[in-house]
Structure 1
Amino acid sequence: MTQNPIRYFVVLKNPNGLEHSYFEDSATADRWAARYIALQIYGPELVDDVPFTIASRPSALVHLVSEPDSERPLKPRQPHELVVSLNVTGNARLSPAQVVDDIIKAALEKPEVFVGGSPDIPFASSDHWCVGDAADPMFSDRSAAQRLIRADALRTRPNTTGKGVNVVIVDQGLDKRELGSSYGGGWKVGAAVPGAPQQQPGSIRRPHGMMMAHNILEVAPDALLFDLPLAPPRISNITNFLSLAYAAYSVALTDVWHWKRGKYPGPWIFVNPWGIYDRSSEVPLGGYTTNPHNCFNRLIGQVVADDNDVVFAAGNCGQFCPDMRCGEEDQGPGYSIWGANSLAQVLTVGAIRADSMWLGYSSQGPGQLALGPNKPDLCATSQFREDGDAFSINTGTSAACGLAAGVVAALRSRWDSARVSPHQLKHVLNQSARKPPGLGSNPGLRHRLGHGVLDANAAFDQLMMQFP
């Protein structure tokens, strides 16, 4: 009877010359790698009947074990170790489980060859995945994405539907017709009219703002959404954008102040799936991106001080596969989370796959020293399709930001800001996040994942203990 294969990861030491064989992007290289690993485990007897295949080519999984002295290496260093993903199938003599046992035994007995192995990938300190390395860039579906952050568990908890919670999506616009009763209103920003998003030329997919709305409502279905259509697809003039952003936010905050005392008295959350990817248009350099006294940074700080939650996407300028919009000098550790995204007061969200693997485009900390160096705060899921609808996709740290905002909205329907301040809620989310092995001792891993993987269920339990 055919048995289901087992996914297993091994970390190989990288002697001189080994990496050159791995870096070939071909089926021949994959077979060579499988034979090499089998030889180390079984000797020559099973080299022609290898009980596993290469699930992900090592070229896509190379990682740096120790961070360079500079937080931002100008050129990738030669990897000291190689992470290899195996699809353990077994053979006529060995079951998949027996093969995994043999791999574990070999890893213990041959430290000169193997660094370690694991059925899960958080053991690998700098493991990452780039969309371009995959045949299918959508790694999972929504159900798996929400299970990872345990958002599905909130459905069994009382008063966690987002009822009475108001969420402002600061993005490219919402579709009020599609949202129906979930749409609360919005503000005109320049030529952008709330509730009527502009379709991007050449795109037939749903608007970016509607991806955000869907992620929030899937976790907090009774939340009321408001549209602040501020963010362009690309911020090409930072000065002009900030001027518009300051004015738009100021108008919205004035209305929210009155609405809190009138028809919308519940908690308010501002969700920002945008950031600065290229600082070349910033004059002077650092005037916004590193300056705590910048008027927009101070305004966002005041939003939180007024008992509103603020959630930002970390950005998509991670060092391994940055977005094409990212500036040459605006990528990687310490150089990819700028401005308000880096403020200590806000919740900044990075991105991982549904199996916890860090996405190599997710912007990395530390944040800016004068704003908030401990960034990102945590990570949530991205690169997933909708259940039953492969055409509707969720990508980037924006998708992760939307899921995290949904969790905030769900929790806020039980604990409003009068009971739990934005600072306290952010602290609980960070402390209850699942911590992968090595997070506390590995700065590189911490700069990728922050405090770990968002855990909505654990956050609920911690809030129940602290604020029953």
Structure 2
Amino acid sequence: MRVSVIVTIPAKALVRERSHLAFSRERYDPIATPTKKGGLLVDPAFPPLPIAARTPAKVRLAASHIERAPVFAVRGTIEADRIDDVRSSGRGVQIFADPQIGMFKDPYCGVEAVGTHEDVARQLKLDQLREKGLDGKGVALAVMDTGINVKHLKAQGMAPKLDKKISWAPSNIRNTPGDYAVDHGTMCAYDALIAAPGCSLLDFPILQSQTPGGSVMSGFLSDALLAFSYLHQQFTGPDWKYKALVINNSWGMYHPSWDFPPGHPGRYADNPNHPFNIMVGTIARAGADVLFAAGNCGADCPSGQCQGVTRHSISGANAHPDVLTLAACDTDGVRLGYSSQGPAIPGMAREKPDLTSYSHFLGSQAFGEGSPDTGTSTASPVAAGCVAAIRSGLPSSKVSPRDLFDRIKAEAQKKPWPKSGWNNDYGAGIIDPLPVAEHFGL
């Protein structure tokens, strides 16, 4: 059986040239003939992506650009039983897992909405943020998901701004930013706009992969790697015009069986040196605020996709030390039983989720009239909107993502009250953006 893999290869002049063509949006000539080494079949349409060098302490940002990257990542397929052969070939080639990823929606428990988006706005004290002029204006908010439908957002009372120039799609997906089918990505965009109606949305439909073995509304980690790499080049390039970049990710790897087995050096779930985990750290340390949903594998009523695995279910980039990981509660502040609990998988940041945000309310109605916005898929963009609102008065050049996230956790509403500190269910507590803004003098 052939499996999809991410392959790192040494940097060479031809590799850098092909990478430049891909990121310049000029005509990209794929490798004419797929190469086979040790059973590896390289995807000819996937451009080489620069991957930064990583030391035990940090990612070296200077080596994250095309001209200085020590290695590049490509995508390929290989027979499952030949992975070790390629890794030990001595040619500088390394093989990493390219697991399927999916959205964190359709939780198992509770179908009725608890409150509405107005209740979310009230809990977040958004009227007071608005009085401070904090509405996300001048901030780019990337929705890494299934694509956004702007018409639906407008029909639901939103006035979204969409930057089509920076928005992006894989080459095998129709590139029509803002005009994708109403689905999960539209829900996430709506939920982000609750707190940040003035932000500029960036549309990245990574969960519509047509990679062999994939399906609509799912994707592969390599799709996310390509999107993050492209966005990083834009964010650090000379034409970037926004005060800050916020990236919402309401997806993850549901089950360990989608990954390489434990102990394999190419595994994703618990490996800081996986190319995607390096890429997440690279863009975060460059100044982007990256948020991930914790997942819907909570012990009380996990999603069926969890296949009963509820321990250490927060893994991979969802447990990255440089991201803000969101658990979910309802508009009354009660933890939702499907919300994944900590601690995260050993090898990544242990104290995940970082904090909790609101979900399971009547909002976008993306899945039909009266349907709630659910899952940690909703909690994450609600929090992303809060971050974007704060960033409209606090550019990333002034305060780093790590310092901002630390303050957001410090100001969270403690749950269970009055206990302070981190706990498995709520992280640091429920997000409360107003005191964060006040702390920074906004």
Q: How high is the TM-score relative to the length of structure 1? A: 0.63
Which amino acid in 2 is paired with 1:295? P
Separation (CA, whole Å) in 1 of partners of 2:246 and 2:257:
31
**Aligned counterpart in structure 2 of residue 301 of structure 1, from 268, 273, 281:** 281
Q: Does 1:290 align with 2:270?
A: yes
Per-residue deviation, residues 401-420 of structure 1 (Å, max 9, x unmatched): 11100000000000011111
**Cα distance, 1:272 vs structure 2:** 0.4
Which amino acid in 2 is paired with 1:358? R
Separation (CA, whole Å) in 2 of partners of 1:347 and 1:152:
24
**Aligned counterpart in structure 2 of residue 207 of structure 1, from 172, 183, 187:** 183
Separation (CA, whole Å) in 2 of partners of 1:386 and 1:300:
29
Q: How high is the TM-score relative to the length of structure 2? A: 0.67
Aligned partner of residue 140 in structure 1, secondary structure = coil
Contact 2:415–2:428 (CA<8 Å) still a contact in 1?
Answer: no
Which amino acid in 2 is paired with 1:147? R
Aligned partner of residue 448 in structure 1, secondary structure = coil
Contact 1:385–1:393 (CA<8 Å) still a contact in 2?
Answer: yes
Q: Does 1:424 align with 2:399?
A: no
State the partner residue of 2:195: 219
Separation (CA, whole Å) in 2 of partners of 1:315 and 1:190:
28
Separation (CA, whole Å) in 2 of partners of 1:271 and 1:319:
24
**Cα distance, 1:326 vs structure 2:** 1.2
State the partner residue of 1:408: 387
State the partner residue of 1:195: 177
Separation (CA, whole Å) in 2 of partners of 1:424 and 1:305:
11
Percent identity of paired positions between Structure 1 and Structure 2: 32
Distance 1:181 1:423, change over 3 A: same
Aligned partner of residue 212 in structure 1, secondary structure = helix
Contact 1:374–1:450 (CA<8 Å) still a contact in 2?
Answer: yes
**Cα distance, 1:297 vs structure 2:** 0.4
Q: Does 1:166 align with 2:148?
A: no
Separation (CA, whole Å) in 1 of partners of 2:134 and 2:421:
35
Contact 1:146–1:381 (CA<8 Å) still a contact in 2?
Answer: no
State the partner residue of 1:62: none
Per-residue deviation, residues 168-218 of structure 1 (Å, max 9, x unmatched): 11001112455676010211224333425654xxxxxx4111111111112
Contact 2:191–2:364 (CA<8 Å) still a contact in 1?
Answer: no
Contact 1:197–1:207 (CA<8 Å) still a contact in 2?
Answer: no
Contact 2:360–2:372 (CA<8 Å) still a contact in 1?
Answer: yes
State the partner residue of 1:321: 301
Per-residue deviation, residues 426-451 of structure 1 (Å, max 9, x unmatched): 001000001124674897xx111000
**Cα distance, 1:140 vs structure 2:** 1.0
Separation (CA, whole Å) in 2 of partners of 1:296 and 1:387:
30
Distance 1:223 1:326, change over 3 A: same
Contact 1:148–1:356 (CA<8 Å) still a contact in 2?
Answer: no
State the partner residue of 1:452: 429
Separation (CA, whole Å) in 1 of partners of 2:209 and 2:113:
21
Separation (CA, whole Å) in 1 of partners of 2:269 and 2:107:
27
**Cα distance, 1:233 vs structure 2:** 9.6
**Cα distance, 1:137 vs structure 2:** 1.8
Separation (CA, whole Å) in 2 of partners of 1:432 and 1:242:
33
State the partner residue of 1:379: 356
CA RMSD of superposed structures (Å):
3.0
Which amino acid in 1 is paired with 2:335? W
Contact 1:172–1:197 (CA<8 Å) still a contact in 2?
Answer: no
Kindly report which structure 2 residues correspond to 1:272-283, keeping only aligned pairs within 5 A, or say none: 272-283=249-260
Contact 2:314–2:342 (CA<8 Å) still a contact in 1?
Answer: yes
Which amino acid in 2 is paired with 1:208? H
Distance 1:237 1:450, change over 3 A: farther
**Cα distance, 1:301 vs structure 2:** 0.5
Separation (CA, whole Å) in 1 of partners of 2:373 and 2:246:
21
**Cα distance, 1:253 vs structure 2:** 1.6
Aligned partner of residue 142 in structure 2, secondary structure = strand
Separation (CA, whole Å) in 1 of partners of 2:356 and 2:209:
23
Separation (CA, whole Å) in 2 of partners of 1:396 and 1:294:
27
State the partner residue of 1:154: 129
Contact 1:312–1:349 (CA<8 Å) still a contact in 2?
Answer: yes
Pair member with larger Rg: 1
Contact 1:336–1:363 (CA<8 Å) still a contact in 2?
Answer: yes
Which amino acid in 2 is paired with 1:304? A
Higher helix share: 1
Which amino acid in 2 is paired with 1:168? A
Gaps of 5+ in 1: 1-129, 200-205
Per-residue deviation, residues 363-393 of structure 1 (Å, max 9, x unmatched): 1111133221111011011110039995253
Separation (CA, whole Å) in 2 of partners of 1:418 and 1:441:
30
Per-residue deviation, residues 58-111 of structure 1 (Å, max 9, x unmatched): xxxxxxxxxxxxxxxxxxxxxxxxxxxxxxxxxxxxxxxxxxxxxxxxxxxxxx
Distance 1:246 1:387, change over 3 A: closer
